[in-house]
C-alpha cells in the first residue's frame, strides 16, 4: 500500500518520527496500489444485501422500549417529530459516510477515511474506538437476548439449565451461557462467507420488519376503532414544549446508529460508487419510516403518561385485549437483537484487517481465507473476545463508552468530508457528480487553447514562444495554467484555517454551555440556559 512519505520501509523508520509520523496520511487503496498476491475480499454485495445489513444493524430491540421512555419523559405525543428530526440529523452523517465510502471503497470505515484525510495518529485512535464500540456493543446485545428468549418459556428464570444464567460460587459474577453461545454461532456464520451471512441477516431483518408492520397495521386498526385516545390528552401535542421534543430527538438519535456498518463492507460491494449511497440511503429511509409509524400508533393507543416504560408496545396491545400480541412483539425483539448482534460483529474483523494492512497491527489480522474470502482469523479473535465479555461480564457499565466511540467516529467522518472538499489530499478520486463537470471543463480549456494557437506559426514554435504568445493573446489562459497551483495552495491554507477555527469555536461554545461555574454573562447568548 502506498503511503505519503514512503511505503512500509518508511513506516518502520517512522515509529520514532514523532509528530510528523502521526500526521502522515495514506493514499486510497486500489488494485494498482496493492501488492501482487495480496488477498482480497469477495465482491458479493449488492443494494438489497446492503439494505438488509443497514436495516438489521440499525433497528434493535431498543425501539421496543425507547418509544415508552422518550414519550413519558420528553416528547409526549410529539415522539413522531422527535424521530423525524433525529432521522434528518442521522441522514447528514449518512451522506458523509456514503460519499466517503463511494470515493474510498475499502475496508475500515471511519478508520480508513481518517487515515486518508487526517493522519495516522487520529486513525489509530478511531480504529481502536471502533473496535471497542463493536466489541462492547455486541456483548451488550448478546446479554440482552437471553431474557427475551426466557419469556417464551414462561418467565425470566425459565430457560433450560444449560442456557440460563448462573452465579459463580465465591465470585460476584453472573455468567450467561446463552449469550456466549449466540456469539459463537454468529461468528461461525460470518466465517462461512459474506454472501451467506448477508443472506441470513436479510431473512432475519425481513422477519423483524414484518413484526413492526404487524404493530403498525394492528395498532392502526385498534386506533381507528377506539378513536386514538392518546391524542386527546388535555396537555396538547407538545406537553413538554419544543425543548422536550428536541431532547427526545437527541435521545432517539442513537436508534439510528448502525448504518456505518454498511460503509465497513465497501470493499465487498460489486459496484461501490452506485450501490453504497443507495444502500445507506434506503436503509436509513426504511428505518425512519418504521420508527415514525410505530411511534404514531403507540402514542395514539395509550396516553403518554400511562405508558409502560419497559414494555410499551406489548402492554398497549394488552390493554385492548390482545394478550397474545406480547409473543409477537417479543419475537420481534429477539429477531432485532440477533440482527443487531450480526451487525456488531461484522465490521470489527474488517477494521482489524485494515489496521493490519497499514502496519498498525500484526499481519496475522490481515490474512484472508482463500476459499471463503473472509478475514477468518480476525473474525475468530473478535468473536472470542465478544463471547468472553458476554459470558463473564455485565457490560451495562461499559456500554456508555460505545456512545463515545460512535460520537468520535461521526465527528471525524464529518471533518474528513470538509478536508476532502476544501483541503483534498493527493490521489483521492473525485465523486461521480464532479467527474463529468471536470471533463467538460478540461475539454473547453483545450478547445480555447487550440483555437488561440490554431495557426501554423504557433504549432511549430517552441515552448517559450508558446508562453509568450499566451501572454500576448490571452493572458487568462496563462494565469489559469501556470498559477493554478499557487491558487490551490492558498485556497487549501484558507480552508484549513477555516475548518480549524470552526472546530475550536464549537469546542469553546459547548464547553461554556456545560461549565456552570462560569458567570452568567459569559454564557453564549443563543443557548437557553436555566436560570
Full set of structural domains in the chain with CATH: 41-422 (1.20.1740.10)
Write out 246-296 in H/E/C secondary structure. HHHHHHHHHHHCCCHHHHHCHHHECCHHHHHHHHHHHHHHHHHHHHHHHHH
Question: Which of 384, 451, 474 lies closest to 184 in space, CA to CA?
Answer: 384
CB 277 within 8 A of CB 286: no
Q: How many CB atoms lie within 10 A of CB 230?
A: 24
Cβ atoms of residues 277 and 115 within 8 Å: no
Neighbours of 165 (CB within 10 A): 17
Yes or no: say if 136 and 448 are a contact pair by the CB < 8 Å rule.
no
pLDDT for position 440: 52
Q: How many helices (H) and strands (E) does the chain have?
A: 23, 2
Distances (CA, A) of 505 to 89, 119, 512: 20, 22, 11
The C-alpha atoms of residue 119 and residue 518 are separated, in whole angstroms, by 35
Is the pLDDT assigned to residue 531 strictly greater than 70?
no
Question: What percent of the chain is modeled with pLDDT above 90?
Answer: 7
If you compute the radius of gyration of the chain from its CA atoms, what whole number of angstroms results? 27
> Residue 226, exposed/middle/buried by CB under 10 A (0-12, 13-18, 19+)?
exposed
- Four-CA torsion 148, 151, 153, 157, nearest 10 degrees: 80
> Dihedral (C-alpha) 451, 454, 457, 461: value to the nearest 10 degrees?
70
| Lowest pLDDT segment from 96-105, 145-154, 338-347, 512-521 | 512-521
Mean predicted confidence (pLDDT) in 305-317: 81
In the chain, the largest separation of any two C-alpha atoms, in whole Å, equals 97
Looking at residues 14-40, what average pLDDT do you find? 57
Give residue 282's pLDDT: 92
pLDDT greater at residue 322 or residue 206 = 206
How far is Cα 213 from Cα 502, in angstroms, rounded to an integer?
43
Sorted by sequence, the CB contacts under 8 Å of residue 292 that are 6+ apart come out as: 80, 83, 84, 87
The residues near 288 (Cβ < 8 Å, ≥ 6 apart) are 83, 84, 87, 90, 91, 256
Q: pLDDT category, 283, cuts 50, 70, 90?
A: very high
Cα gap 75→63, rounded to integer Å: 15
pLDDT of amino acid 510: 66
Strand pairing partners for 130?
A: none
For residue 460, pLDDT over 50 is answered with no
* Whether residue 105 has pLDDT greater than 50: yes
Consecutive H or E run containing 55: helix 47-58
The confidence score (pLDDT) of residue 141 equals 84
What is the predicted pLDDT for the residue at 451? 54
Beta bridge partners of 166: 175
Q: CB–CB of 168/175 below 8 Å?
A: yes
What CA–CA distances, in Å, run from 98 to 41, 105, 272? 20, 10, 10
> Within its chain, how far is the Cα of 30 from the centroid?
23
For all residues of the chain together, what is the average pLDDT?
76
pTM for the whole structure: 0.76
CA geometry: angle at 483 spanning 481 and 487, to 5°?
120
Burial 99-108 (b: 16+ CB within 10 A, else e): bbbbbbbbbb
Q: 461480564: which residue's cell?
A: 393
Distance between CA 488 and CA 494 in Å, rounded? Answer: 10
pLDDT at 76: 83
Where does the pLDDT of residue 59 fall: very low under 50, low under 70, confident under 90, or very high at 90 and above?
A: confident
Mean pLDDT value of segment 123-142? 86
| Residue bearing the bigger pLDDT, 8 or 192 | 192
Least confident span in 127-131, 134-138, 440-444: 440-444
Query: Which residues contact residue 154 at a Cβ distance below 8 angstroms, ignoring those fewer than 6 apart?
Result: none
Of 13-22, 100-109, 248-257, which gets the smallest average pLDDT?
13-22
36 vs 175, which has greater pLDDT?
175
Higher pLDDT, 453 or 489: 489
168-171 long-range contacts (CB < 8 A, ≥24 apart) are: none
Specify which residues 174 forms β-bridges with: 167
Q: What is the mean pLDDT of residues 497-506?
A: 77
With a CB cutoff of 8 Å and minimum separation 6, the contacts of 385 are 135
Higher pLDDT, 238 or 396: 238
pLDDT tier at 84 (50, 70, 90 boundaries)?
Answer: very high
State the pLDDT at residue 468. Answer: 43
Give tens-digit pLDDT for 408-449.
Answer: 888 888 888 888 777 666 555 555 544 554 455 555 555 554
CA 203 → CA 35, 146, 190, 199, 336, distances in Å? 37, 21, 15, 6, 11
304 vs 422: which has the higher pLDDT: 304
pLDDT in tens, 181-228: 889 999 999 988 888 888 898 899 999 899 999 989 988 888 888 877
Find the length of the chain: 531
Round to whole Å and give the CA distance between 120 and 140: 30
Amino acid at each position: 500500500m502506498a503511503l505519503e512519505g514512503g511505503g512500509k520501509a518508511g513506516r518502520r523508520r517512522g515509529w520514532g518520527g514523532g509528530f510528523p509520523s502521526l500526521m502522515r496520511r495514506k493514499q486510497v487503496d486500489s488494485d494498482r496500489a496493492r501488492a501482487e498476491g495480496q488477498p482480497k475480499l469477495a465482491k458479493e454485495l449488492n443494494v438489497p444485501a446492503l439494505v438488509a445489513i443497514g436495516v438489521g444493524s440499525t433497528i434493535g430491540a431498543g425501539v421496543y422500549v425507547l418509544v415508552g421512555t422518550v414519550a413519558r419523559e420528553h416528547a409526549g405525543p410529539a415522539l413522531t417529530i422527535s424521530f423525524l428530526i433525529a432521522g434528518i440529523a442521522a441522514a447528514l452523517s449518512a451522506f458523509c459516510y456514503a460519499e466517503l465510502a463511494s470515493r474510498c471503497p475499502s475496508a475500515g470505515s471511519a478508520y480508513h477515511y481518517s487515515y486518508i484525510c487526517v493522519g495516522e495518529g487520529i486513525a489509530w485512535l478511531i480504529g481502536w474506538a471502533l473496535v471497542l464500540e463493536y466489541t462492547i456493543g455486541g456483548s451488550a446485545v448478546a446479554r440482552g437476548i437471553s431474557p427475551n428468549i426466557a419469556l417464551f418459556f414462561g418467565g425470566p428464570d425459565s430457560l433450560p439449565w444449560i442456557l440460563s444464567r448462573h452465579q459463580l460460587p465465591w465470585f460476584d459474577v453472573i455468567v450467561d451461557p446463552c449469550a456466549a453461545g449466540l456469539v459463537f454461532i454468529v461468528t461461525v456464520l460470518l466465517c462461512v462467507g459474506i454472501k451467506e451471512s448477508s443472506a441470513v441477516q436479510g431473512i432475519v431483518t425481513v422477519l423483524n420488519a414484518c413484526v413492526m408492520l404487524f404493530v403498525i397495521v394492528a395498532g392502526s386498526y385498534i386506533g381507528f376503532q377506539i378513536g386514538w385516545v392518546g391524542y386527546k390528552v388535555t396537555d396538547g401535542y407538545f406537553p413538554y414544549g419544543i425543548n422536550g421534543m428536541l431532547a427526545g430527538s437527541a435521545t432517539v438519535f442513537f436508534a439510528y446508529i448502525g448504518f456505518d456498518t454498511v460503509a465497513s463492507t465497501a470493499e465487498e460491494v460489486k459496484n461501490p460508487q452506485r450501490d453504497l449511497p443507495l444502500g445507506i440511503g434506503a436503509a436509513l429511509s426504511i428505518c425512519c419510516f418504521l420508527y415514525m409509524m410505530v411511534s404514531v400508533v403507540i402514542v395514539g393507543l395509550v396516553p403518554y403518561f400511562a405508558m409502560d416504560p419497559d414494555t410499551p408496545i406489548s402492554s398497549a396491545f394488552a390493554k385492548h385485549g390482545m394478550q397474545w400480541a406480547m409473543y409477537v412483539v417479543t419475537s420481534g425483539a429477539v429477531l432485532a437483537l440477533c440482527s443487531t448482534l450480526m451487525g456488531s460483529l461484522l465490521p470489527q474483523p474488517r477494521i482489524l484487517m485494515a489496521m493490519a494492512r497499514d502496519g498498525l497491527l500484526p499481519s496475522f489480522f490481515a490474512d484472508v481465507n482463500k476459499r471463503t474470502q473472509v478475514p477468518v482469523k480476525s473474525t475468530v479473535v473478535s468473536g472470542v473476545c465478544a463471547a468472553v465479555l458476554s459470558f463473564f461480564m455485565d457490560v451495562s457499565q461499559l456500554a456508555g463508552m460505545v456512545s463515545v466511540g460512535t460520537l468520535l467516529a461521526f465527528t471525524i467522518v464529518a471533518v474528513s468530508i470538509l478536508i476532502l472538499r476544501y483541503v483534498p489530499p493527493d490521489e483521492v478520486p473525485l465523486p461521480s457528480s464532479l467527474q463529468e463537470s471536470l471533463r467538460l471543463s478540461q475539454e473547453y480549456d483545450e478547445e480555447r487553447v487550440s483555437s488561440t494557437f490554431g495557426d501554423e506559426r504557433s504549432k511549430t514554435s517552441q515552448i517559450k514562444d508558446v508562453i509568450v504568445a499566451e501572454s500576448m493573446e490571452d493572458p487568462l489562459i496563462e494565469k489559469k495554467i501556470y498559477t493554478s497551483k499557487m491558487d490551490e495552495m492558498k485556497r487549501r491554507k484558507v480552508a484549513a484555517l477555516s475548518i480549524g477555527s470552526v472546530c475550536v469555536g464549537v469546542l469553546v461554545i459547548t464547553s461554556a454551555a456545560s461549565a456552570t461555574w462560569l458567570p452568567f454573562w459569559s454564557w453564549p447568548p443563543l443557548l437557553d440556559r436555566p436560570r
